[in-house]
Amino acid sequence: MSTPGPDLVELVVGPPAHGGHCVARSADGPVVFVRHTLPGERVRARVTQARRQFWRADAVEVLEASPDRVPSVWPEAGPGGVGGGELAHVALDAQRRWKTTVLREALTRIGHLDLDGLEGEVAVEGLPGDDEAGGLGTRTRIELVVDADGTAGMFRHRSHDVVPLSSMPLAVPAIAELGLFAPGRWSHLRPGTRLDVVAPSVGAPLVLVDGEPEASGRGPARGSVREVVPTAFGDLTYRVRASGFWQVHRRAAPVLVDAVLGALRPTPGERLLDLYSGAGLFTLPLVTAVGESGRVDAVESEPRAVTDARRNLHAHAGAALHEARVDPASLVALGGDPVDGVVLDPPRAGAGPAVMDALADLAPQRVVYVACDPAALARDLQVATARGYRLRTVRGLDLFPHTHHVEAVALLERA
């Protein structure tokens, strides 16, 4: 329930918290989660939501600036603007320190994990080429919506109001060159139409209109795209639905494959599980690593992703694809032969304690957990460590520059 609050408050800003805001306390009110600021700043902020327990606010005037503040690389994502660029005013190296703080805090406060005994520091690292480009031009997939005037935009933060855009600097150049944001460009479409724009690593970009490929007049509309991922085994080629899930950052797929294989260290003849396997991003290099004498069981619940995976893995007899939810029952069904290693890449909510318990019952020697939410990762790692696993490494990856999102790859080993 919302309660009345002041329109503007002056705040001295505290540490960052997961979600793209910092924590502050107003003179006469509760804790304030304030966006568009940095730790240590003094700001004047507009309260956007007032609840009994906390307020939300946007910093609209900086009274004392942090040395890490820079001119926003995407002003349309500033106060009152669209979501998706909440750290655009923060220097790139400071963004990674921010995310490192959030990741470490989640692991220790939520997961009650001891980080002192890990191999290496828990730190968030950038991807190749991002420093040189200032973290811009990284996204190969963006989501837009058409406003009442036929112009492409995005939703205002925590709102269903469409803000028309003039540019999207986080998108790769191939998307930027499409002229998506010309005023009235989409006036032939009804307001509220969703536009998904995809720039695969092979071939020209394409636009999906409410999930369906837009006819270009240059042949039949494409429903799928090809992605080529450089790996230690050479270039691996995937065919995926244009509307299906694929890593957004232009370098995310090869970096994640390298991180997962480097942590899991698969060898010929092993039996591995790939949980929440999608179109087979990890399954393909894993089955290549274990060779003809090994086996990879991949579990995915989304039927169209399984269809993509079957196409990508049809030449590999050692890959067994299971269209099923990842739950205790599906893991019990995979029992029998010993499991040497597991890769799991769950959605934002995490795997959950029931899955982590069932996974521990299979007693794999190594588990690599790919996480897109630090809090969910911390909760799941806590379950695993309570079941006798030791957390060995946690590697943070900045797959979403200029946003609060952070990816992590954690390695667990059976004690």
User: Residue 67 contacts by C-beta under 8 Å, 6 or more apart in sequence?
Assistant: none
d(CA 55, CA 48): 8
300 is in an annotated binding site: yes
d(CA 225, CA 244): 10
φ, ψ for residue 367, nearest 5 deg: -130, 125
E strands, 124-282, are: 124-125, 141-146, 152-155, 162-164, 194-198, 206-209, 212-213, 224-231, 234-241, 271-275
Tokens matching residue 291 = 């060779």
Q: Which member of 43, 372, 394, 408 is catalytic?
A: 372
Q: Are 98 and 87 in contact (CB under 8 A)?
A: yes
What letters, b where the CB count within 10 A reaches 16 and e where it falls short, cover 289-298?
bbeeebbbbb
- Work out the angle at residue 303's Cα, subtended by the Cα atoms of residues 370 and 195, and round it to the nearest 5 degrees: 80
d(CA 71, CA 109): 33
d(CA 193, CA 333): 42
In the chain, the amino acid numbered 126 is: G
Closest Cα to residue 276, out of 376, 185, 207?
Answer: 376
Neighbours of 192 (CB within 10 A): 12
345 is in an annotated binding site: yes
User: Residue 315 burial (CB < 10 Å; 0-12/13-18/19+)?
Assistant: exposed
3-state SS, residue 69: strand
3-state SS, residue 242: coil
Consecutive H or E run containing 295: strand 295-300
372 is catalytic: yes
d(CA 87, CA 73): 9
Annotated binding site for S-adenosyl-L-methionine: 247, 276, 300, 345
Residues with active-site annotation = 372
